[in-house]
Structures are given as structure tokens and as C-alpha cells.
Chain A
Amino acid sequence: MAGKAVLTGTHFMNGDEACCEGALAAGCRFFAGYPITPATEVAERMSRRLPQVGGVFVQMEDEIASMAAILGGSWGGAKSMTSTSGPGYSLMLENIGLGLCTETPCVVCNVQRAGPSTGLPTLVGQGDMMQARWGSHGVYEVIAVAPASPQEMFDFTIKAFNLSEEFRLPVTILADEVVGHMNERVVVPPADQIVVKDRLKPTVPKESYLPYQPGPYGVAPMANAGDGYYMHVTGLTHDERGYPGMDAATQVEMTTRLRDKIQNNLERILDYDTVMLDDAEVAVVAYGISARSARGAVLAARERGLKVGLIKLNVVWPFPEQFFRELAPKVKAMIMPEINLGQMVLELERVVGGRCPVELVAHPGGAIITPDRIIKAVQAALEEKP
């Protein structure tokens, strides 16, 4: 593996390793982290691979410092990331908020295990979905992706970096233990076929640069610290210069900017796949490893003649509200399997607003949901009298 950032070819690797390779292919050259099952393999491979490509790996003292370090790495101009699991993600959330407030592009991979607390370190969970949306305090928008295979760990890590660079914010990869530890074919394309996006750079004279003045599509160009541009980086509510403004007007202006750069660009961010949805009477909505269970269920149910389709969420935050509002009156029910006791299903229910029933197929963690359980829920929904 000496020296190559893009390992073009066909591999049999696990999701954590594929995440590392995706990051390198996207241009990541700084990783700061703290090992934790089931995310350790991301850091482990990074520690070997980054020095080969001129990057820097630092094992930090904890996850709070890890998150702080990658924010600094990003302001220094390096594409930066960290990886962790639930307990570490809880610690990172303070500084993820700092990254959101200071509009710092970076990537956090959370390979979810079952919680709360130390929980089941080696076993699967999807319990951090709402934490990724609301876990840091205050008012903000986030972007999170949910890979369902090692290949998607590669592809969606690139996607996460691109979105973080394009929209200047920390992007979370909401993976899970099964996807992280599962080995499968991973095809790494030639480097020139991988789309890599970089943050906008200032085009104005150094003296007139404003680090938070929205540019094209609502996102401010970002200078590197040390390039000679005036800059001020703070977690206090700040104006376009980056200077603290301790009043409601500045807060309104800043949070509007944080919201609008996401909400006004949904067509560039939202991503979901549909499978056999055209004539479906029941729609299964799933993400991450549960989308594999759902796909198995939908294919088996179709073989039995059941009219069921699948919506697989690739980007989970922001949630595709408009799509589900329009779909709701066309189906008899929606079913969501997830490895928690009901998180994304709350968002689905909110958006659907009673226009069709929404059923949860839940597992609290430690095992993935079997296709059988989803098929039973589909059958029950189809038998329900309108």
C-alpha cells in the first residue's frame, strides 16, 4: 500500500477499512482520534496509511480533544476527520457544536453500537440517530449519511467530505457495527473518476475578506489560518467578520445563515434510493444496516406477490420531507425498521402527518432486524382495512 492515496482495484475489506480508504481518496490528510470498538479499525488503518501519503495521524487523549484537533486541522487547511462510537460521540458533541458555529468542514464517523452508556461494545445499534441531529446544544442544521455496506462506507465517506467542504460544516457518518465490521467487495475506482470537492477559497483582496459572508449558494469562502487573511474564529455568536455580537440581531442573522445554507440547497444534499416503489401499496423506509434487512424483506415479499417497495435513505439528515409528504397519500402504510426503540420513525410520522399509518419495527440493539419481521409487518399492513 506504499504511497498511494487511492487503492484502485477490487478489495475484500471491512467497512471501517473502506471508510479510511474513502477518506484518503477524498483528500483527508489529518486524523485525530481515540480508539473505541467498533470504530478502532478506522483509526488503526489511518495510523498506517496517513504517513504513507504525507498526512498526519494523532492518537489523542480522548474524544473531546480529538474533535478539537480536527477543527484546528481543518482551519489549518487539511481535510480532517475522526472516528468513534456512541460513548465517544457523546463527548465530541460539544466541539461538534463549535464546528457547526464556526462553519468548519470536517467528518466524524460514528460506528454505532448498542447503548445507552458503555452498552454492548461489540454489538450493533442505531441509537444515535437523533443524537446526531440534536445532540449539541443550540440552533443549527446538520448533514448525516448512513452507509449500508463496506462499498457505501467508501462511497459515503467521500460524499461526507464533499458535503462538508461544500457546505462548511462537520458531517457525521452514521455507520453501525455490522457495516463497520462486515467484509465485502469494495471497488475503488481510478483516482480520476472520483469526484472530490474542495471548500471555496476567497477571491477578494485579503483586507476585504469576511470569513462568514455568504458567497455563491449561501456558503462563505474559507481562508486557511496563516494565509494572511483577517480572521476571527469563535463559538460566540458572531457577525460576518467573525467578531462576537452579543445581541439578538446577530444571533438571528447567524442562525439564519446556518439554516439557509442547508435548507436552501436541499436538492444538492438529499439522497435516497427507491426500489420497486412505483406500484407499491406499502413502503418500507430504512437506512444503514437495517436497509439490508429491508431489501431482503422487500425482495422476498415481492416473490410472494406482495406489492411492497423500499426507500433507502442515504442521507438521513436533512430528512427528505417533501418526498414523504407526497408519497404518503399514495400508499396504504409505511414501515420503518430501526435498531432503536423509535427515532427516525418520529421524523417520518411528523412529516407524514397522519396521511398514512406509520409502523415501527424495532430492536433495541445487539442484533440486526431479520427480514421475517419486516415481511410480517408488511403483511399486516396490507391486510388492514382502509
Chain B
Amino acid sequence: METSKQREVVITGFGGQGIILTGNILGKAATIGDGRHATMTQSYGPEARGGSCSTQVIVSDGEIAFPYAEHPQLLVCMSQEGYEKNQEALVPGGTIVWDTDLVETGELNPDWRAYHVPATRLAEELGNKMMANIVMLGFVSAVSDVVGVDSLKEAMLSSVPPHTKANNDAAFERGREYGQAILKSRAKRESSGEPSGS
């Protein structure tokens, strides 16, 4: 995992997936829960839904002057367009995460740590595909330490409508378990000498 003091995260998808909310939760977790500095910026088009959108979150121990990612270390893709537009910017050694069913990656930079999760499908299995973003957040909490997991969960629960808390909590946990299972099986393969891969 990345160790530098400033961490830059880009989350991409399309309008209606809750991409901006995801960035907001991440930034809130870093700021309120972890007591660090964070900025969350957003980019979207004039359409209410369906257009390409993205959010950038910068987390730092110190003051953040320029609030945009120049060298993102974590890229989360929930749409094909988001992947294609942003993957080149990811730094060597960076982490890329995508929704298995929504993104088809080309050849990936071998320096990246790469993970995919069927976040939308898992959310559908839990009864509401609108929670795909929260499944994704749970997954990210397992494979990245950009923010503390307790902070992240608290920020998530305080950001969703009260009557959806239990369902979102389940979605978060589902994503987190999925991520932890991948990490475990990779560790197993690595210790038995097999090549790792996504």
C-alpha cells in the first residue's frame, strides 16, 4: 500500500451511481474520523443522470493547496468511460479497482495492484443496485488504507438516509468481505509460489 503522506484518489462512473457521495464519504472519513486534511472535488456534466462523472479526493497530513489529483495512487472505475479516461494517470505502484461487470480493462500496467469486484451485482443480490457504490467503498476499505475503516463506516452511516442505514451497512460489509477474501487467496497463492493476478 502507498506510504507517501499525500494520497490522491479518483473515483469515476456515471451520474446516478452515487459516485460523488462516495467521494464525499471518503473525504469525510479522512477529515472527521481520522482528523487529517482532505479535499473532495467533483466533475459532472449538465445531465442529471447517465453522464460521465468523477470525484477526486486528496488526503494529506498537511495543508492541501491545489485540490486536484496530479498523480493519483488509487483509481476506482464504475464505468468503461471512466476507466478509459483516467487509467493513464494512475502512478506506477498505484491501485486500480473496477466493477467486474461494468468495465473491461485492456492490458494493465504490471506495476499496478489490480482488483475487481462485481459491486453492482452484489448490490443487486442485496436487493438494491443503488448500493453498488457502498459495496465498492467496503471493498476499497479492504484493499486500501487510504482512510481508517472505522472512520469510513461511520462517515458512510452518517451520510445515507436513516432508514437505509441497515441495508447500506450490509452492503459495506459485503464489499469488505469480498475484498478480504481476495487478499487472503492472493496471500495463499503467493506463499505457495503461484503467480498472483486479479
- The interface of chain A, by Cβ under 8 A from chain B, is 10-12, 37, 121-123, 178, 181-185, 292-293, 295-296, 299, 368, 370-371
A37 to B48, CA, bound (A): 12
B66 touches A184 (CB 8 A): no
Q: Distance in Å from the Cβ of A125 to the closest Cβ of chain B? A: 15
> Could you list 11 A-B pairs, sorted by A, with CB under 8 Å?
A10-B31, A10-B32, A12-B31, A37-B46, A182-B67, A184-B67, A185-B37, A185-B38, A292-B66, A293-B65, A370-B70
Q: List residues of chain B with CB within 8 A of the CB of A295.
A: 65-66
- Residue B180, interface by CB 8 Å: no
**With contacts defined as CB atoms under 8 Å apart, how many contacts are there between chain A and chain B in the complex?**
59
A183 touches B27 (CB 8 A): yes
B67 touches A292 (CB 8 A): yes
Closest A-B pairs by Cβ, 3 of them = A296-B66, A296-B65, A183-B40
- Residue B112, interface by CB 8 Å: no
- Residue B174, interface by CB 8 Å: no
B46 touches A121 (CB 8 A): yes
Instruction: State which residues 47-78 of B face A: CB under 8 Å.
Output: 65-68, 70
Q: Distance in Å from the Cβ of A381 to the closest Cβ of chain B? A: 20
Q: Using C-beta atoms within 8 Å of the partner chain, give the interface range for chain B.
A: 20 to 34
Q: List residues of chain B with CB within 8 A of the CB of A292.
A: 65-67
Q: Distance in Å from the Cβ of B153 to the closest Cβ of chain A? A: 15
Cβ contact of A12, chosen from B32, B42, B43, cutoff 8 A? B32
Cβ-closest chain B residue relative to A371:
B66
Q: List residues of chain A with CB within 8 A of the CB of B27.
A: 12, 183-184
Produce 1/0 per residue, B154-179, CB < 8 A to A: 01000000000000000000000000
B45 touches A122 (CB 8 A): yes
A181 to B31, CA, bound (A): 17
A299 touches B31 (CB 8 A): no
A371 to B65, CA, bound (A): 10
Cβ contact of B38, chosen from A11, A12, A181, cutoff 8 A? A12
Q: List residues of chain A with CB within 8 A of the CB of B66.
A: 292-293, 295-296, 370-371
A184 touches B44 (CB 8 A): no
A299 touches B24 (CB 8 A): no
Given A121-B46, A183-B24, A185-B31, residue A299 in contact with residue B65 (CB < 8 A):
yes
- Residue B7, interface by CB 8 Å: no
Given A12-B38, A183-B39, A185-B38, residue A122 in contact with residue B65 (CB < 8 A):
no
Cβ contact of B28, chosen from A12, A37, A296, A299, cutoff 8 A? A12
